[in-house]
Structure 1
Amino acid sequence: MSDSARQGDAPIVATSSGTVRGLWRGTDADRSAAFLGIPFAQPPVGGLRFAAPVPVEPWTGIREATTFGATPQRGPVAEVTLIPEPSVPGEATLNVNVFTPRPGDSAARLPVLVYIHGGGYVSGSPASPWYDGESFARDGLVTVTVSYRLGFDGFGLIDGAPSNRGVRDWLAALDWVQREITAFGGNPDAVTIAGQSAGGGAVLTLLGMPAAQHLFHRVWALSPALGDVSRERAWSVATQLADLAGVPATRDGFATVDPDVLIGLQQKVSERGGSRLSGIRTLLDDGLPWGPMIDGDLLPTATPESIAAGIGADKPLVVGATDDEFTMITDDARARFRFVPAALALAILGVDRPTRRAYLADNAQQHRLGTAALLGRYVSDKVFRSGVAQVAAARGTAPTWVYRFSWASTRIGWACHCVDVPFWFDVLDRDRVDALTGENPPPSLADAVHGAASAFVRDGAPGWAPWSDEPGRTRVFDDTGPGDVADGYRSLRSLL
């Protein structure tokens, strides 16, 4: 470790934009440093609000990097996430956090993990205690967590503004990693990108993006939710938003709307009235309103098509999902669904008769738990799990590993959305973990999941047989211990 890293008993690192001072955490052999809120681009406000990210202006002296930077998330959205993701006020929302065991040691060249948070592309924050890289630092890895523009500011189609501004933020952050991570002890030639939910969709989007290929080397996608919003849908929701705001659907028009007001209005565009089943069908039919858009520029085609065409085939990929991502939502309405036959509910969701019959046959065990459980599994399969199998198949012989997270929360009762995240980061002792997992989540499961993640970041293989060698081969993570099955996603074959 360099002398500069120890100056003033605080870790100090010189970047090309200026010097930053972080803080030490842990003791003795487990001691590592955190550098929080380092800007990778100028604040996206004023004339830069709907612009592509602009390089940060250099500073003089030592910049304190001991508290999280501002986040794009504001208001009540922060209260509804399963993961605690605090909103931090301020304008400098394009920033990164770095967790490293070897700050200032440019010769260390440790493998690097870059994590992109989820939140449906409209919420989330890298300031979550669940995204702390301390456990990865203990394993000799450098972790970077990324902030990016959300919702309409990040992904809305605006006449006169560059498309996919949130995607451009990811690219700018990854470019920052390439330039600066050596000074934090990292190796820019060994970068793994990872994310969960929308973050999982983000890293798959990057995997299939020709313009991003030089910025990373491996990918781990947890419960990926792809955007792949069509230009037509993006324009439809943009004009709806403009009508609600009473402004033209142009850059100048939207610039007059306060960001917090716009967040409230975009929520109205996203909401749909009617029954719970009709709301689910809207999600299945239309997809997410905000997210990476197929713009013919950064995203020439839909991500699965790009991957099937061989984009990113040189990069190892791990992809998987929890067994019941969505089931806790339908489970809340199980009394309402009690007397609705599952076949009828699937028909209301637009599932044709042959598919209904095949799906019910392949999911008989879930069906026995009731219509609510069956519907939850179906939506989980359509939104998350079928994409896992499709992407794995599209990769062909490119190195690909697939998993399922099957441990059911003792509080929620299902292997639900987000429950795998504290195991992946090995942060079972952090704030609000037990609110999702229940009391005493199994540390052995965290050892298995986090150990696989660390092995992949370090060595490029997570420790089980790849799907690309044996199509269907799936690692199952449960409290009985990890094990492999020959066809882990067989139950959704009728949807593929």
Structure 2
Amino acid sequence: MVIDAPIVQTSAGPVRGFWREELDRPSAAFLGIPFAQPPVGELRFAAPVPPEPWTDVRDATGYGATALRHDPGGTLIPEPAIPGDGTLNVNVFTPDAEGSLPVLVWIHGGGYTAGSPASPWYDGRAFNRDGVVTVTISYRLGFDGFGWIDGAPHNRGVRDWLAALEWVRQNIAAFGGDPDRVTVGGQSAGGGAVLTLLGMPTAQHLFRSAFAVSAALADVPVDIARQRAERLAALTGVAPTLEELRTVPEERIHALQRKAESAKRGIGLLTDLIEQGSPWGPMVDGDLVRVPTLESLRSGIGGDKPLLLGAADDEFTMVAEAEESKLRLIPPGLLLRPFLRDREVRHAYLEANAEQRAKGTAAVAGRYVSDHIFRVVVPGAAEARASTEAPTWAYRFSWVSPAKGWACHCLDVPFWFDGLDLERVHDLAGDAPPQSLADEMHSAAVAFVSDADPGWPAWRTQPGTSRVFGGSGPEISETAYDSTLALL
């Protein structure tokens, strides 16, 4: 039997997707739908502009162009790079159902410089099976999206997130979604994007709840952003102005932006991340991003929106482990002294992480970097929202990959998406990752997106309360993030 391809009328024009029947419930995919005009020519380094309308049915059966312009190689998540100018697009995955379904809008990670919305790991097929419409969005990366430019709007990547969410609000009902039941979610830089949006007054009408996985906040100070921009412009031989930077080819900007941030790798790169923060990402410009994210949450912004957030135990320990031969002879206290200068704080942190100390200096270094960038954000955000109207739920991902030896960065993503059969998952999770754990985590995500409650006690019932996924101890813990508290 031949089933007609699905056609949906969007605010800009009709799009044609395709049906899929991989799981128990058929679903439709609509790929590469523009939410803004290509950011090239006069629109390069500009705020996103709504797409030109069309009348003929537009093919939406292949992923659109991505802001990622090259194969990054060696990434933990598959990140397809697709050429083309129209990089500001969305992908919609929707069940074969009528009605008004909850919606998950997913923002990919990649340190604000990499990542791809076309990753097979973000396919919404399992969420569709469970009655959730799923949308993945693209945004400008690196200097294009977040670099300071004299004469250009700041935070262009953030403006792309807002424009994509506005598109969802205007159009998702046509795909079977409820615009008043949107959860914005993301991992790593995408999780940082979620918290940034949660703390932005101008974003509050665009979603009902927030789901931040291993959130990496940027909160780049304007003066630091300007210094990096001036350094990059000097490398290209032009002034850091809109007029002059538009004359520099995109490929040259991409090639030089790493030199403008850090030439270091391995443990040196981790040191730079600790000392200087994310090189590119949302900047605190006093306008769109008015104050640092946790300060904004503490003031009550986003306090009416339920939040689910958490992190893995050893997000970046693999990187430190690769430097073990250099680190093994350095006492942990001496290694941490440049970062934790207060002796009492340093000793408190080491005491709280005695289990890591027993594994060696590389394990301590990796845990400290993981805590500093990712894990401390969990109690930090939860405590910032302690008195808000809407609850905060925390989780901790503790399942140790037999392939990597750690509960590492990105490992939890295929569990949340119930995609353990997807390409390259076994490279990260081993040959037999537990489906039972994926069932638990994916069910919690579906419950949160659908009903704004993942199914365990909220943080405010007892500060510290968290659901532990894949650990060897109790499922519900009040001490899940106690080892990070010395850093707050």
Q: TM-score, with normalisation over the residues of structure 2?
A: 0.97
Runs of 4 or more, structure 1, over 3 Å off, are 275-279, 348-351, 479-482
Equivalent residue letter for 1:47: E
Shift of 1:351: 3.6
* 2:135 counterpart SS class: strand
* 1:361 counterpart SS class: helix
* 1:83 counterpart SS class: coil
Structural mapping, 1:84-483, within 5 Å: 84-102=78-96, 105=98, 108-273=99-264, 277-398=267-388, 399-478=391-470, 483=475
CA RMSD in angstroms, aligned pairs only: 1.6
- Once residues 321 and 446 of structure 1 are traced to their aligned partners in structure 2, the CA distance between those partners, rounded to angstroms, is 16
Structure-2 change in CA distance of 1:375 and 1:351 (3 Å):
farther
Contact 2:89 / 2:137 at 8 angstroms: preserved in 1? yes
Contact 1:445 / 1:481 at 8 angstroms: preserved in 2? no
* 2:248 counterpart SS class: coil
- Once residues 161 and 7 of structure 1 are traced to their aligned partners in structure 2, the CA distance between those partners, rounded to angstroms, is 50
* 2:103 counterpart SS class: strand
Paired residues, number: 486
Structure-2 change in CA distance of 1:482 and 1:247 (3 Å):
farther
Shift of 1:272: 3.6
Contact 2:266 / 2:322 at 8 angstroms: preserved in 1? no
- Once residues 463 and 254 of structure 2 are traced to their aligned partners in structure 1, the CA distance between those partners, rounded to angstroms, is 43
- Number of the residue aligned with 1:73: 68
- Number of the residue aligned with 2:38: 43
Equivalent residue letter for 2:365: L
Equivalent residue letter for 1:11: P
- Once residues 272 and 91 of structure 2 are traced to their aligned partners in structure 1, the CA distance between those partners, rounded to angstroms, is 36
Contact 1:397 / 1:469 at 8 angstroms: preserved in 2? no
Query: 1:7-52 CA deviation, whole Å, 9 max, x = no partner?
Result: 9611111112111110111168510000000000000000001110
- Once residues 415 and 281 of structure 1 are traced to their aligned partners in structure 2, the CA distance between those partners, rounded to angstroms, is 21
Contact 2:23 / 2:125 at 8 angstroms: preserved in 1? no
Q: Which runs of 5+ in 1 are unaligned?
A: 1-5
Shift of 1:307: 0.2
Contact 1:70 / 1:88 at 8 angstroms: preserved in 2? yes
* 2:394 counterpart SS class: strand
* 1:90 counterpart SS class: coil
Q: TM-score, with normalisation over the residues of structure 1?
A: 0.95
- Number of the residue aligned with 2:11: 16
Equivalent residue letter for 1:216: F
Shift of 1:397: 3.3
- Once residues 266 and 272 of structure 1 are traced to their aligned partners in structure 2, the CA distance between those partners, rounded to angstroms, is 10
Contact 1:191 / 1:217 at 8 angstroms: preserved in 2? yes
- Once residues 470 and 189 of structure 1 are traced to their aligned partners in structure 2, the CA distance between those partners, rounded to angstroms, is 30
- Once residues 345 and 271 of structure 2 are traced to their aligned partners in structure 1, the CA distance between those partners, rounded to angstroms, is 16
Contact 1:150 / 1:166 at 8 angstroms: preserved in 2? yes
* 2:19 counterpart SS class: strand
- Once residues 131 and 316 of structure 2 are traced to their aligned partners in structure 1, the CA distance between those partners, rounded to angstroms, is 35
Structure-2 change in CA distance of 1:481 and 1:46 (3 Å):
farther
Q: Which runs of 5+ in 2 are unaligned?
A: none
Contact 1:277 / 1:349 at 8 angstroms: preserved in 2? no
Equivalent residue letter for 2:84: G
Structure-2 change in CA distance of 1:400 and 1:28 (3 Å):
closer
Shift of 1:336: 1.7
Equivalent residue letter for 2:427: A
Structure-2 change in CA distance of 1:43 and 1:7 (3 Å):
farther
Structure-2 change in CA distance of 1:164 and 1:8 (3 Å):
same
- Once residues 244 and 124 of structure 2 are traced to their aligned partners in structure 1, the CA distance between those partners, rounded to angstroms, is 40
* 1:392 counterpart SS class: helix
Equivalent residue letter for 1:143: T
- Once residues 152 and 321 of structure 1 are traced to their aligned partners in structure 2, the CA distance between those partners, rounded to angstroms, is 27
* 2:459 counterpart SS class: coil
- Once residues 283 and 472 of structure 1 are traced to their aligned partners in structure 2, the CA distance between those partners, rounded to angstroms, is 27
Structure-2 change in CA distance of 1:27 and 1:380 (3 Å):
closer
Shift of 1:268: 1.2
Contact 1:38 / 1:97 at 8 angstroms: preserved in 2? yes
Structure-2 change in CA distance of 1:176 and 1:481 (3 Å):
farther
* 1:145 counterpart SS class: strand
- Once residues 475 and 399 of structure 2 are traced to their aligned partners in structure 1, the CA distance between those partners, rounded to angstroms, is 12
Contact 1:52 / 1:168 at 8 angstroms: preserved in 2? yes
Equivalent residue letter for 2:65: A
- Once residues 270 and 82 of structure 1 are traced to their aligned partners in structure 2, the CA distance between those partners, rounded to angstroms, is 22
- Once residues 276 and 480 of structure 1 are traced to their aligned partners in structure 2, the CA distance between those partners, rounded to angstroms, is 30
Q: Identity over the aligned pairs, expressed in percent?
A: 58
Query: 1:187-236 CA deviation, whole Å, 9 max, x = no partner?
Result: 00000000000000000000000000000010000000011100000000
Structure-2 change in CA distance of 1:17 and 1:278 (3 Å):
closer
Query: 1:329-381 CA deviation, whole Å, 9 max, x = no partner?
Result: 00111122111111111114454321221111111111000000011001111
Shift of 1:285: 1.6
- Once residues 342 and 90 of structure 1 are traced to their aligned partners in structure 2, the CA distance between those partners, rounded to angstroms, is 48
Contact 1:207 / 1:213 at 8 angstroms: preserved in 2? yes
